[in-house]
Structure 1
């Protein structure tokens, strides 16, 4: 299995302190034997000025460091403790100053081969500027409105992360194609990629941030033939072209489909020492054509509208090229659209999808052909 990035300095808990001109974040490893320091300038609120101290401090040196920092800022009130936190979600700027989003509470929901996995249970938004450098725009109605909109997003629901395991990647990828570094956040399954982008480019590190994955994580132990078997189910939802049902359907021009979800099932014997591990990965998503549905509370099954604006099925082809890069060959498409309907709805998409696959396959070498399987799920589960 791939070793997690930066294990020797993996930071898992943090303390936030503030001085008049600077925020200080002190991060430490699991057993609190090593500490590192991050400085965030508060004097230029419209700019994100961050500096990471390359020194690793011991527990005693960490206490001495706090005393030194407090002495440096004594003339302006010293250094004051703000909060404990579990990692930085990212930084955001509307019309005024930057804000820092942090996780202040977490709950352990499982572990991946000894690496804890957590759910977000509480967050905070910290304004970077101070009372002197806060721009006059801060009190504008628009600024407050944007802040309230952001705060309506409930990160406590269905977001999970790990400090020391690349939970945004499948076990298969972590094992067969190990990668490390700050660019891992660029994956489609890290929902705070944009919020951490500037921060990561400056530090070239992910020590201080967490990669939030949106979806489902469930882990349980079962007994089979006297053996303890660990069963883990992970669903990772793509951040690209995401949206609620009916409002987001089909594919966009970049080949991203609505509600793209990677599901991974991991099974292994819960024992010490070498073990056999099974990881099965499947992908689901909206049918990669340009189509939509009108939302209506009165119509349970709204009409399907097929938009004929991609005669060469370029977006559909891009979608399957993306799948091939992510998972390799062969690509097997299981089409669950109905074959028989009293009034054509889904069957319209079925015919168009079949046509698209044939045209795409005509331009591919045999070994790259898409394998298209039709299965009418409704018809197959009917009771006779």
Structure 2
């Protein structure tokens, strides 16, 4: 279990609910994942490095997904101080260790044993729409949520490994794209007049990972930590007509309800 010092410095995470609606309008674009024996800590920030948030994921429950979001908005120095105190509070069990840099949570999935966290660990820009960058996935990683010491034998069973291999056959680096600030799951016309919150957007037919993100969105009541992946085709080219340059963008999206050949 965590020491009292670690619990003290994370009081905000344990005692506050999800962020307010006004805060969810800020999008975070880069994340750092840390771990202790008992928790994962994900640190997210916005593009301008002025907005820092903390997400805590329990690692001691072998079968349930327990997530807490700190409602406090930190500065970079305040966030570093928080991590230092968490490290000091967990020295006896190995301290706080850096795991990976990531660019959003694709979702959480469970087969027969523990939950797994799917992360985008590399991305590449493939275009922009009205000043909003659009990215493709370059690399992903699947990380078991529970600590290995609390996992049951089923976590390494033949059937569990078979299901994990089946998931890995889905290549997220091909034909998937997303944007942090532009709703690529909607048409341009709907984007111009859309005022719906992020939760609603995930329920549209073109968000491939709607089910994978349902658990964390239900816990937090926001979409700050997840990315809405669209499966399809995105191509952007610059053309010139009569001496004037313009961008031509072609977007094709495959429905998560009707995933057959189009």
Deviation at 1:7, TM superposition (A): 7.2
Instruction: Quote the Cα distance in structure 2 between the aligned partners of 1:165 and 1:7.
Output: 14
1:229-261 CA distance string (max 9 Å, x none): 121111111111313x4xxxxxxxxxxxxx4xx
SS in 2 for 1:238: coil
- Cα separation, 1, equivalents of 2:194 and 2:149: 49
- Moved beyond 3 Å, runs of 4+: 5-8
Q: CA deviation at 1:65?
A: 1.3
Distance (whole Å) between structure 1 residues aligned to residue 133 and residue 259 of structure 2: 27
Q: C-alpha displacement at 1:6, in angstroms?
A: 5.8
Deviations 1:159-217 (A, max 9, x none): 00001111111110111333223121011000000000111011111110000001111
- Superposed, which structure 2 residues align to 1:9-24 within 5 Å? 9-24=26-41
Query: 2:77 and 2:217 mapped to 1: Cα distance?
Result: 29
Instruction: List gaps (5 residues or longer) in structure 2.
Output: 1-21
Of 13, 24, 42, the residue aligned with 1:25 is: 42
Task: Indicate the structure whose relative CO is greater, using CA pairs within 8 Å and at least 6 residues apart.
Answer: 2
TM-score with structure 2 length normalisation? 0.89
Does the alignment pair 1:175 with 2:195? Answer: no
2:249 paired with 1:232: yes
Cα shift at 1:104: 0.2
**DSSP-derived class of the 1:70 partner:** helix
Q: 1:70 to 1:34 in 2, by over 3 A?
A: same
Residue of structure 1 equivalent to 2:65: 48
Could you tell me whether the CA contact under 8 Å between 2:39 and 2:58 is conserved in 1? Answer: yes
Correspondence for 1:155: 172
Secondary structure of 2:99's counterpart equals: strand
* Aligned residue number for residue 85 of structure 1: 102
- Unaligned regions of 5+ residues in structure 1, if any? 246-258, 260-384
Task: Give runs of aligned pairs for residues 25-174 of structure 1, distance below 5 A.
Answer: 25-174=42-191
Q: Structure 2 CA distance, aligned partners of 1:178 and 1:225?
A: 37
Q: Secondary structure at the match of 1:228?
A: strand
Q: In 1, distance between residues paired with 2:258 and 2:247?
A: 33
Count matched residues.
241
